């Protein structure tokens, strides 16, 4: 009976692994076919993972699974619409102003220092900037129909994932042996915390950035105050440098045209109120549920994902870095326990510990007289 039971268990495990292999192979083929919309699918997966608690909250309030998924989808749709609409408006209505502002820059700057005047040619930079802005606008206009289709696909996928999230989770965990599922749960927890930090925390910080930037730009007399505030909010998604990428070039523009007072005001108030204050005021209050990923690693994941995968890499890059760090931590805890690096180094220098169960054998010189006998 025991041999038969072990044989059945082995066959069941082998069957599970074969099915997992089939699913993986079909997934690779499907991913190749859907390569053009793979970024949209990944985005929908990550957003659905964050919105699952929202869907469950609606269900606990009396909604059915279907209506709860629909309500959570509407929440995700509203947030995505609120984020994307200002960008479309900026590209549609403010493009001409941006082009005129770049074209109005002097093609030569004069810098005086230590009694000498230096001329800096900026014509080539100005021309390159104009070509970049106009090319980006043209590409965006041509891509609008495709973006609309992908947005519709995103909403449909989001609803389906929220409605069938439990089934997808069961299917994902099924091939994993029971003794390794704690590892999967730990990685899934780190992924959820990272996605929370990327979406919820970043969106909240961006909203706070917009709330601080618009009154500042309006108070300083900028005609495109709304556009600049939207740009500052979007740049908040760029780790470490963030809105300073907007404030510093505008301040340099004022220096170029000789308006040093405006440059000093913007560089001082802008860096404090736009680039620094939202991080200090919002992030600490929402960071309790975030992954606690160091800013340097987040920046590495952000830039690497952006350059390798494009726009979706902004999310996938930090996510993969965070999951990798969690896997390394799990391995270190499994091998080294609670020992610190210093403890391990000291133990290695001391050599392998002696097993107390082993009996110590000593060899003594025999007494010379006894030896003679």
Greater confidence (176 vs 206) lies with 206
pLDDT interval class at 201 (50, 70, 90): confident
Which pLDDT belongs to residue 27? 77
Maximum average pLDDT range among 46-60, 96-110, 278-292, 300-314? 46-60
3-state secondary structure at position 325:
helix
Kindly report, residue by residue over 10-33, the tens digit of the pLDDT: 666 777 778 778 877 887 888 778
Which pLDDT belongs to residue 71? 92
> Where are the domains positioned within the chain?
11-169, 177-339
3-state secondary structure at position 365:
coil
Average of per-residue pLDDT across 77-106: 70
Q: What is the mean pLDDT of the chain?
A: 76
Flag whether pLDDT at 185 surpasses 70.
yes
Q: Are 298 and 216 in contact (CB under 8 A)?
A: no
Flag whether pLDDT at 179 surpasses 70.
yes
Look at 47-61, 285-299, 312-326 and tell me which has the smallest mean pLDDT.
285-299
Give the integer Cα–Cα distance in Å for 243 and 234: 8
Kindly report, residue by residue over 348-368, the tens digit of the pLDDT: 666 555 454 544 444 444 454
129 burial level (CB within 10 Å; 0-12, 13-18, 19+)? middle
Q: Are 252 and 263 in contact (CB under 8 A)?
A: yes
Which pLDDT belongs to residue 67? 92
Look at 44-58, 76-90, 190-204 and tell me which has the smallest mean pLDDT.
76-90
Which pLDDT belongs to residue 35? 75
Rounded percentage of the chain residues whose pLDDT exceeds 90: 3
Average of per-residue pLDDT across 182-200: 84
Q: Are 86 and 230 in contact (CB under 8 A)?
A: yes
Phi and psi angles of residue 175, each rounded to the nearest 5 degrees, phi first = -75, -10
Kindly report, residue by residue over 100-156, the tens digit of the pLDDT: 666 666 666 665 555 666 666 666 666 766 676 667 667 767 777 888 888 888 888
Rounded percentage of the chain residues whose pLDDT exceeds 70: 70
CA distances from 295 to 114, 240, 278, 292 (A): 40, 7, 16, 9
Which pLDDT belongs to residue 369? 41
What is the pTM assigned to this prediction? 0.67
């Amino acid at each position: 009976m025991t041999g038969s039971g072990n044989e059945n268990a082995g066959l069941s495990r082998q069957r599970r692994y074969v099915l997992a292999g089939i699913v993986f192979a079909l997934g690779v083929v499907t991913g190749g076919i859907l390569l053009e919309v793979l970024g949209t699918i990944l985005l929908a997966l990550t957003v659905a993972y964050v919105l699952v608690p929202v869907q469950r909250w609606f269900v606990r309030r009396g909604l059915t699974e279907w209506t709860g998924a629909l309500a959570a989808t509407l929440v995700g749709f509203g947030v995505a619409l609120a984020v994307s609409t200002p960008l479309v408006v900026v590209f549609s209505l403010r493009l001409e102003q941006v082009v005129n502002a770049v074209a109005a820059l002097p093609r030569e700057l004069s810098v005086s220092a230590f009694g000498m005047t230096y001329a800096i040619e900026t014509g080539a930079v100005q021309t390159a900037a104009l070509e970049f802005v106009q090319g980006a606008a043209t590409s965006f206009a041509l891509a609008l129909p495709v973006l609309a289709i992908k947005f519709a696909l995103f909403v449909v996928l989001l609803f389906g994932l929220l409605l069938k999230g439990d089934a997808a989770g069961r299917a994902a965990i099924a091939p994993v042996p029971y003794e390794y599922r704690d590892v999967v749960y730990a990685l899934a927890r780190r992924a959820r915390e990272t996605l929370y930090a990327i979406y919820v925390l970043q969106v909240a910080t961006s909203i706070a950035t917009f709330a601080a930037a618009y009154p500042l730009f309006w108070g300083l007399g900028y005609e495109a105050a709304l556009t600049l505030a939207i740009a500052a909010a979007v740049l908040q998604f760029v780790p470490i440098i963030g809105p300073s990428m907007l404030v510093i070039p505008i301040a340099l523009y004022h220096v170029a045209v000789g308006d040093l007072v405006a440059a000093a005001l913007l560089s001082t108030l802008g860096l404090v109120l736009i680039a620094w204050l939202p991080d200090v005021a919002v992030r600490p209050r929402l960071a309790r549920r975030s992954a606690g990923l160091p800013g340097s690693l987040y920046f590495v994941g952000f830039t690497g994902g952006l350059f390798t995968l494009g726009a979706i890499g902004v999310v996938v890059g930090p996510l993969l870095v965070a999951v990798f760090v969690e896997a390394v931590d799990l391995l270190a805890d499994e091998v080294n326990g609670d020992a610190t690096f210093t403890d391990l180094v000291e133990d290695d220098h001391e050599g392998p510990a002696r097993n107390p169960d082993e009996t110590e054998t000593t060899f003594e010189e025999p007494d010379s007289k006894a030896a003679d006998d």
